[in-house]
Amino acid sequence: MFVRWFVPLLWALSAEADFFQLDSISNVSTYYFNYIYCNIWEGECQPNQDDATQQVPTRDLWASFSQDYMSLLHQWYCSLGQCCESGDCRITNNITGLSRDLQTKLHGQHLAQSVVLKAIQGFINNPESNKPLTLSFHGWSGTGKNFVARIIADNLYRDGVKSECVRLFIAPFHFPHARLVDTYKGQLREAIRDMVLRCPQTLFIFDEAEKLHPGLIDAIKPYMDHYDNVDGVSYRRAIFLFLSNIGGATINDVALDFWHSGQNREDIGMEDLEHRLRTETMESQGGFAQSELMSGHLIDFFVPFLPLEYRHVKLCARDAYAARGLETDEATLDEVAKAMLYVPKEERLFSAQGCKSIPQRINFFLP
């Protein structure tokens, strides 16, 4: 199969070489040679998203090929297992799996479970969306914001967070110096544009978003706005997730008020939190609040992550043991949960670290 398609492909490219720029032909040839070497001959290499020779050639390059040669190239490429009848094999959009994982793996977050599922499902089912989907996750550390971002990636993409259609940016790591914000702007715009050209549906995750410089967010604001395209590129099939601790205290206060009044935390609704989160985010310090992303009302949902209680910590401990293939009992789970710090000081109701340190803490309780 490989020889049957590869030889005609080389012939086709060489026959048409006079009609195309040689550097374009070189880029195409280098990309597919890298793919063959890494995946067919199993050479020792690792795909690099920043390496132009391992990036799928863009639409501008393909436009120079005739339809016959495009068809030939498509058939050959599909013979290597890189495309499916349903479309791009890198994109799975498993909404059933997303629903299941949110319900069974995420604990104590009924609002996030509902809002995230409905937002993602609605976006996936609407190919004519007039803007990218933009979600802002809020809450204390350890309540599940990064965990949900990973669940989304795992169910929308074959390779999860390692997919070339997914990109994670950590504000203090990728953009640490305010004096270099102009350099970061160009790098970030280019990274987003290149990924959108490579993938028909992309996921961008910004962790610790409150630490982003306002100018940096404003630089990519057009990509999240209601535009058909920006410089000839459409970003309407992109998903942007912003994760931050902003509003964590407000969310905790609401949850505590419900507890004091004898109401179930499951009775907390979006109407109790979303407006307050929007207001607090607008009034907070940092670039996220000062950006045009907020003033332009481009965030589709402010998703609150509630503080976790003792019972939720036990469930996290149970999952941590199961992930290692270990059996446990209620007494051990209680020991793990009791070892956590709980606040406020009087009520000792919420885990100060959520479930963040549970996978490491269970080591202490292993025989």
Domain for residue 215, yes or no? yes
Question: What is the chain's mean pLDDT, rounded?
Answer: 83
Domain for residue 52, yes or no? no
Domain for residue 71, yes or no? no
- Binned at pLDDT 50, 70 and 90, residue 295 comes out as confident
Domain boundary pick from 262, 284, 306: 306
The tally of domains found in the chain comes to 2
Per-residue pLDDT for 4 more than 60? Answer: no
Taking the C-alpha atoms of residue 355 and residue 316, their distance in angstroms, rounded to an integer, is 6
Taking the C-alpha atoms of residue 30 and residue 151, their distance in angstroms, rounded to an integer, is 34
Indicate the residue type of 366. L
Are residues 359 and 284 both part of a single domain?
no
Question: Is the CB of residue 190 less than 8 Å from the CB of residue 154?
Answer: no
pLDDT in tens, 305-342: 999 999 999 999 999 999 999 999 999 999 999 999 99
Per-residue pLDDT for 361 more than 60? Answer: yes
Question: Is the CB of residue 273 less than 8 Å from the CB of residue 304?
Answer: yes
Least confident range from 9-13, 299-303, 328-332, 337-341: namely 9-13
Domain coverage including residue 143: 95-306
Q: What is the pLDDT of residue 19?
A: 43
Of 215, 240, 212, nearest to 298 by C-alpha is 240
Mean pLDDT of the 147-173 span? 96
- Binned at pLDDT 50, 70 and 90, residue 76 comes out as low
Least confident range from 65-69, 172-176, 199-203, 320-324: namely 65-69
Question: Which has more confidence, 29 or 136?
Answer: 136
Question: Does 176 sit behind a cis peptide bond, omega within 30 degrees of 0 on the bond before it?
Answer: no
Domain boundary pick from 288, 306, 324: 306
Are residues 176 and 99 both part of a single domain?
yes
Are residues 172 and 263 both part of a single domain?
yes
Domain for residue 24, yes or no? no
Q: What is the pLDDT of residue 53?
A: 45
* This prediction's pTM: 0.78
CATH at residue 187: 3.40.50.12190
